[in-house]
Amino acid sequence: MADYRVKATAAGGSIRAIAAVTTTTALQVQKVHQASPVAAAALGRLITAASLLAADFKDEFRLTAEVEAGGPLGRVVAEVRTGGLVRARAEHPTVDMPLRSDGKLAVGQAVGTHGILRVVREERGRTAYEGQAPIVSGEIGEDLANYYRSSEQIPAAVALGVLIGREGLVVASGGLVIQALPGIREMTTDEIAEKFQTLHNISWRLSRGESPEDLLREVLPSPVHWLSTETLDYQCQCSAERSLEIIGGLPESDLVALIQEQGAEVVCHYCNTAYPISLFDLEQIRNMRAHRKN
């Protein structure tokens, strides 16, 4: 099943729901970074979180969800841009941790519990929105629910999950958010909360072939009104041109040092692609600068 996200409403529009499956992307990100199981789980959950947060945007946007909470994985970042293109990284993706006493991956411990979840949305290259909320548990699902509640002032129920197989690789990844808009009847929220309890282990269910729609159908009161569906794909956005731009932004002294070293290399933190910068390129950048000054 290719990765995608679906939006829906229920209870006459007073409930908004988004669900996503991100298995292929999460596995790709794990392979690119040779991420440990616990790092892959954190990355997969954050990828799903970013995909849910990006559901309302279409034209030339980039949404970054970032968690910095003092754990051994360091900063974990997931980015979704126009067309549902996703990339992600963790500062220390190979760090592994023993399982918790209940046999689950220690995601919260690996991410850390003291810090913030930050969400930045850029539109046409400019920051259009920036919000943040304190980390609750580092498990990402709870942190995202807290973010919705504190930043957007909307009560939200969130479930995120990543299933890691015996070989230590991502087998399933996905999640959902349900938001209660103003005017919803209390009974309806109670019903949803109750049904939400039965949703535990969504990654296992996705691995068994259940779809995001199946999960939503189970929690939402019928009839469910289905809105848009969008595919999600792994794709980095680095390029040789972008690497030259980075070099072009360096201070003069750094540029001179690189010229003395006869060349340079720009490595993308998101996909580990190395872009060699030749001495010719470096000299050309320097000449262009000198030209501009005159």
The answer to the question of residue 29 lying near Zn ion (CB under 5 A) is: no
Interface size with Zn ion, residues (CB under 5 A): 6
Residue of 144, 172, 268, 277 interacting with Zn ion (CB under 5 A): 268
Candidate segments 28-36, 118-126, 238-246, 258-266, binder of Zn ion by CB under 5 A? 238-246
Rounded CA gap, 287 and 281, in Å?
10
The answer to the question of residue 215 lying near Zn ion (CB under 5 A) is: no
Residue of 26, 170, 236, 285 interacting with Zn ion (CB under 5 A): 236
- Minimum CB separation of residue 78 from Zn ion in Å reads 14
Place of tokens 């790709």: 28
Candidate segments 28-36, 138-146, 154-162, 265-273, binder of Zn ion by CB under 5 A? 265-273
- b/e map 238-258, b = 16+ CB within 10 Å: beeeebbeebeeeeeeebeeb
Rounded CA gap, 89 and 219, in Å?
32
The answer to the question of residue 78 lying near Zn ion (CB under 5 A) is: no
Rounded CA gap, 281 and 145, in Å?
47
Between 227 and 267, name the residue whose CB sits nearer to Zn ion: 267
Residue of 18, 40, 88, 238 interacting with Zn ion (CB under 5 A): 238
Alpha-carbon torsion angle 36, 38, 40, 41, nearest 10: 170
Structure tokens that stand for 134 in this block: 């304190």
The answer to the question of residue 282 lying near Zn ion (CB under 5 A) is: no
The answer to the question of residue 258 lying near Zn ion (CB under 5 A) is: no
Between 159 and 238, name the residue whose CB sits nearer to Zn ion: 238
Nearest one of 61, 168, 184 to 105, comparing CA atoms: 168
Residue of 57, 61, 196, 270 interacting with Zn ion (CB under 5 A): 270
Between 181 and 240, name the residue whose CB sits nearer to Zn ion: 240
Phi first, then psi: what are they for 210, rounded to 5°? -70, 150
- Minimum CB separation of residue 80 from Zn ion in Å reads 15
Rounded CA gap, 80 and 49, in Å?
10
Candidate segments 114-122, 123-131, 133-141, 237-245, binder of Zn ion by CB under 5 A? 237-245
The answer to the question of residue 271 lying near Zn ion (CB under 5 A) is: yes
Burial of 224 (0-12, 13-18, 19+ CB in 10 A): middle
* DSSP code per residue over 44-101: HHHHHHHHHHTTT--SSEEEEEEEE-SSTT--EEEEEETTTEEEEEESSTT---PPPT
Between 128 and 267, name the residue whose CB sits nearer to Zn ion: 267
Structure tokens that stand for 137 in this block: 């548990």
The answer to the question of residue 266 lying near Zn ion (CB under 5 A) is: no
Between 10 and 88, name the residue whose CB sits nearer to Zn ion: 88
Residues that bind Zn ion (CB under 5 A): 236, 238, 268, 270-271, 273
